[in-house]
Amino acid sequence: MKVLAGIRIVNLAANLPGPAAAQRLFSMGATVIKVEPPSGDPMNIYYADWYRDMAAGHEVISLDLKTPEGRERLEELLVTADLLISATRPAALERLGLDATTLQRKFPRLCQVLIVGYPAPRDNEAGHDLTYQASMGLLDPPHMPRSLLSDMAGSEQTVSAALALLFHRERTGVGGHAIVALSEAAAVFAEPLRYGSTIPGASLGGGIPEYNIYRTSDGWIAVAALEPHFKQRLESTLKVADAEEYRTAFALRSSAYWQEWGQQLDIPIETVRDR
């Protein structure tokens, strides 16, 4: 559904959360202008394919916002923009005269989502997904995280904030701004840990055999027979009752076999893939 048809977005954010959010909003019908510094978006250097996918369909222009000419051109874009996404630290935006208060005064109908690393008073501190996950206890040293949870969660919160601001403007005629802190976005993903459900030995942390991972003859599977009817069907069919019996049974056949077996019996079993 192209519910955002006619909405114009200016995205100043580089790297991941902002561009990913802009692409989600584009998929809903919005027009997106991606403003990059003369040096370009670092994402294009690290992961060019990902960069292209997130910028697909956007108009990409280069502006040096440290110059009066660059800021003047940005303000020309904002005259007709409905939403601005930025991921520059608040102190830097204020120095450039692009802080939320100043822009709201100039463009009363403009909606703004400001992506920061940490909430105030730490909103001018540097950080990245790795440090945000570290601050919320989501790392398992020495292993690096397998996904950029903070960035992706922040992207989704940016989309939600943008839609809420646009909806509020529809009702009131007035724009506004919202702040998305990536460390707080990571905190949402840390809720299961905070409540103890995923710590080692807890019910969702390997403490029960019906919700666990098992080695097969050629890899690993994830078994999630959490509900009683799933568990009863699995154990009665497989003739198992405890963790050791589960391990012995699943080790006899391949991951593909067990996944198909689970599908036939309507039991959640999935092959653990490398990527």
Please name each of the domains of the chain with its CATH number.
Answer: 8-191 (3.40.50.10540), 211-271 (no CATH)
Name the average pLDDT for the chain. 96
User: pLDDT-derived band of residue 118, with 50, 70 and 90 as boundaries?
Assistant: very high
Q: Provide the whole-model pTM.
A: 0.90
Q: Per-residue pLDDT for 145 more than 80?
A: yes
Look up residue 265 and give its two tokens: 């019996």
Q: Per-residue pLDDT for 35 more than 80?
A: yes
Residues, the chain:
275
Q: Per-residue pLDDT for 115 more than 90?
A: yes
User: pLDDT-derived band of residue 167, with 50, 70 and 90 as boundaries?
Assistant: very high
Query: Could you give the CA distance from residue 181 to residue 187 in angstroms, rounded to a whole number?
Result: 10
Q: Per-residue pLDDT for 128 more than 80?
A: yes
Q: Per-residue pLDDT for 275 more than 90?
A: no
pLDDT digits (tens, 9 = 90+) for 205-219: 999 999 999 999 999
Query: Could you give the CA distance from residue 204 to residue 200 in angstroms, rounded to a whole number?
Result: 8
pLDDT of residue 233: 97
Q: Is 144 exposed, middle or buried (0-12, 13-18, 19+ CB in 10 A)?
A: exposed
pLDDT digits (tens, 9 = 90+) for 43-66: 999 999 999 999 999 999 999 999
User: pLDDT-derived band of residue 33, with 50, 70 and 90 as boundaries?
Assistant: very high
Query: Could you give the CA distance from residue 137 to residue 153 in angstroms, rounded to a whole number?
Result: 16
Q: Does an H or E element contain 2, and which?
A: none
Q: Per-residue pLDDT for 1 more than 90?
A: no
Query: Could you give the CA distance from residue 61 to residue 74 in angstroms, rounded to a whole number?
Result: 10
Please tell me what DSSP assigns to residue 233.
H
